[in-house]
Amino acid sequence: MPFDKTYNVLYNVLCMLQIINITDARNNLAKLIEKIKATKEPVVIVQDSNPSVVLYPYDEIVRREEEKNQLFQLKFQQIFREGEKKFKQYLRKKSIRSPRSEDRAYSIIKNA
């Protein structure tokens, strides 16, 4: 068995993911969907012994997208605060008064 396939199987076993082949998934799709909705656990569908797709409960995808958005917002706020701090340090270093307007701030940045 090639290393990639061995690694995939080991990863799936360690993570306790349910794995089903594509034929079984196709033949039992309605039952599979009901099971995923009930257990809230993803199912890996393999094709030719290789993981092909993962079916997730819709609520899980929505939750992950919300988490991703919240993480982005936190990171953005952190970067923005750091930018403000660096801008204020630059203004002090260059003895420039704090700009009163956004246009003036952009002008200072553009000419830096």
Q: Is the whole model's pTM more than 0.75, yes or no?
A: no
Q: Which tens digit of pLDDT belongs to each residue from 5-57?
A: 666 666 655 566 889 999 999 999 999 999 999 999 999 999 998 999 999 99
Architecture of domain 3-56: 3-Layer(aba) Sandwich (3.40)
Q: Taking a C-beta distance cutoff of 8 angstroms, is the pair 42, 55 a contact?
A: yes
User: By 3-state DSSP, what share of the chain in percent is helix, strand and coil, each rounded to 5?
Assistant: 65, 15, 20
Inter-CA distances, 46 with 18, 20, 36, 84, 105, Å: 11, 6, 16, 49, 55
Q: Taking a C-beta distance cutoff of 8 angstroms, is the pair 44, 69 a contact?
A: no
Q: Taking a C-beta distance cutoff of 8 angstroms, is the pair 45, 21 a contact?
A: yes
What residues does each domain of the chain span? 3-56, 60-110
Q: Which tens digit of pLDDT belongs to each residue from 68-94?
A: 999 999 999 999 999 999 999 999 999
Structure-token match 């998934």, residue found: 25
What is the reported pLDDT for 49? 87
Q: Taking a C-beta distance cutoff of 8 angstroms, is the pair 55, 30 a contact?
A: no
